[in-house]
Amino acid sequence: MLIGISSFFLISCSNNAPKETKMIPKEAMVVVSIDPNAFKEKLQNGGISLDSILSKGYQKDSTKPEDQQKVADFRNNSGINWEEKIHFFSYPQKENKDANIMNLLFSISDSAVFNRYLSKLNWKDKQTFSKEADYQYLPLSDNNILAWNKEHALVMIYENKVKPYYDTVNMRFVIPEKKDNKKTMLTELSRLFTQKESASMAAVKEFGKMFKTKAEGYVFASSGGSLAALSGMPLQLPKLEELVNNNYTSATLAFEEGKIIAKSVTHTNPLLSSILKKYAGPTVNTDLIKTFPSQNINAIVMASFNPAIFGGVLKELEVEGFVNEFLTKSGVTAAELYGSIKGDIAVVVSDLGMGMNEPQIRKDELSMVVKKPMGKLIINIPAGKPESFKKLMDKIAERGFAVKKGNEYKSGDLFGQIGIYMVANEQGMIIASDSITYTQYKSNSTKATINNEALNYFKGKSTVIYIDVANTLNGFIKDSSGGYYNSLITAKNTIKDIMGSSENYSDNSISSVLEINMQNQKQNSLVTLVSLFTNIAVDTRAVARREKEMEEKLFPSGIPTVIRAN
């Protein structure tokens, strides 16, 4: 008996999942959780209260006092427990692969107060409360129900995709009538309110482990929910379910001084783990970005992997022969296809902004004043096995997508029409925004301007992303005007850059991190971000008010229907 009690105690202590998550089914594809209390503490430590945020948000705004009171009642007199976590989760319905069920789960501090609050709310076609054995519910719309018991409340949205079908007799497409999903939703609600913990996300070890880390937000994604979609595929691949099932990704979001950090870990099943371990990849090749013909780099994306992993997946799925047979007409095998690349890729974007159309394409008054996005682009994909790469490029040239000139392949008419310049040779393929950018990049004469912090961050990673937010916004500010100019200036002075990376596979998992760095490195990032969003909200409301005032001056009796229609 003592052993049994001890085992129960250890199991209970090892499960850090919030108690309300026993209402989240195991087949949930994604769970997003936020901790309102943690947000509140971070703001208070930064000298900001929710009241002050709302007060500033109402500045330069015509929000009526009664509407402001509704917000206050929702916060203070609704019976909602703002000390507990709030969860959004989505899962597919087992009986209907076209149906997706989205839910918002939160806790109640006082069910009597919650009932009174709901009773006082009024809206068109509001229905009365109804009661089931384990919960009360209030239909909010045809596919939306609010249900609650003494501890928890759940807002369920039932999304059923109605697919048209072709009537071969009458020779026309028919859109089926939407069904009344109330009965189905009540069945799902009864299941969620009564399901055992063993059938819930609370029983998933990786899910509970995620909450050991103190954070303001959490995300958990499972591949299990995709099994229903796989079962509906016309071609059933051997071992595909084994490869996809029981892979989990958990992530935490934390607001720290000067930066926002999102950390994630992907836990893989035994089959996928064996593939990732066997075909472990290298780390990113920073030599590909040592030179770049611009001092205003906006973004960098790099990845490095072992191309043979594609062959490993095909072999495990027992479809390598089928794929090769399918590729026979193209004249290449699967091994030649993935063997043609080395496994490195680098993408660099610079000089983003808004520019005028070139004079030769200004065909009317609108094209003379409308601006379009401008920028430079380089995509570098080094070649793998020379014979495989050459064979692949020959096939591409045969189909007219490229033109072979000597030992080089250049972009054909199709690439030219979409504004892409491409050159490929034994070294690999380079795609550029234009021929001048390509020539300057290949000359290796201009050293890329990348801060050392980012370069050090790239070392030893399998994938990286870098976005210079401040520099990018600056490129658009120069050509910006109107009510959002101040918001762009504020954003530029608030956010510095974004850096993200992932490690190679290790210990049955893949770790990733994303950092959003602020200009102010001493202030908590949540406080900084709230201040930014509040200023943007004030600008947005001011712009909307000015537009409304202008409409009223131009059309005192209201905008004519013919103008609104166009």
| CB-CB contact of 439 with 316 (8 Å) | no
CA atoms of 147 and 129, how far apart (whole Å): 9
CA atoms of 52 and 450, how far apart (whole Å): 39
CA atoms of 98 and 108, how far apart (whole Å): 32
CA atoms of 542 and 547, how far apart (whole Å): 9
Q: What percent of the chain has pLDDT over 90?
A: 57
Look at residue 386 and tell me whether its pLDDT is greater than 50: yes
Instruction: Give every CB contact of residue 382 below 8 A, 6+ residues apart in sequence.
Output: 285, 288, 341, 342, 344, 427, 428
CA distances from 239 to 30, 54, 268, 271, 317 (A): 23, 54, 15, 9, 5
Instruction: Give every CB contact of residue 258 below 8 A, 6+ residues apart in sequence.
Output: 517, 518, 520, 521, 522, 523, 525
CA atoms of 275 and 68, how far apart (whole Å): 56
User: Using a CB cutoff of 8 Å and minimum separation of 24, what contacts does 372-375 make?
Assistant: 375/298, 375/349, 375/350, 375/351, 375/433
Model confidence at 86, pLDDT cuts 50, 70, 90, reads: very high
Q: Where are the domains of the chain?
A: 2-19+71-218
Model confidence at 515, pLDDT cuts 50, 70, 90, reads: very high
How many CB atoms neighbour CB 201 within 10 A? 24
Most confident of the following: 414-423, 446-455, 477-486: 446-455
CA atoms of 441 and 458, how far apart (whole Å): 21
> pTM of the full predicted structure?
0.82
- The CA-based angle 200-202-208, given to 5 degrees, is 150
Q: Helix, strand or coil for residue 40?
A: helix
Q: 380, exposed or middle or buried, with CB in 10 Å at 0-12, 13-18, 19+? A: buried
| CB-CB contact of 526 with 46 (8 Å) | yes
State phi, psi for 310 to the nearest 5 degrees.
-65, -40
Q: What percent of the chain has pLDDT over 70?
A: 87
Sequence length of the chain is: 566
CA atoms of 89 and 33, how far apart (whole Å): 9
pLDDT digits (tens, 9 = 90+) for 291-310: 999 989 999 999 999 999 99
CA atoms of 77 and 89, how far apart (whole Å): 26
CA atoms of 531 and 188, how far apart (whole Å): 41
State phi, psi for 344 to the nearest 5 degrees.
-110, 145
| CB-CB contact of 378 with 389 (8 Å) | no
What average pLDDT is seen over the chain?
86
Q: Helix, strand or coil for residue 2?
A: helix
Instruction: Give every CB contact of residue 42 below 8 A, 6+ residues apart in sequence.
Output: 216, 255, 524, 526, 527
Mean pLDDT of 213-227: 87
pLDDT digits (tens, 9 = 90+) for 472-494: 998 888 766 656 778 888 899 99
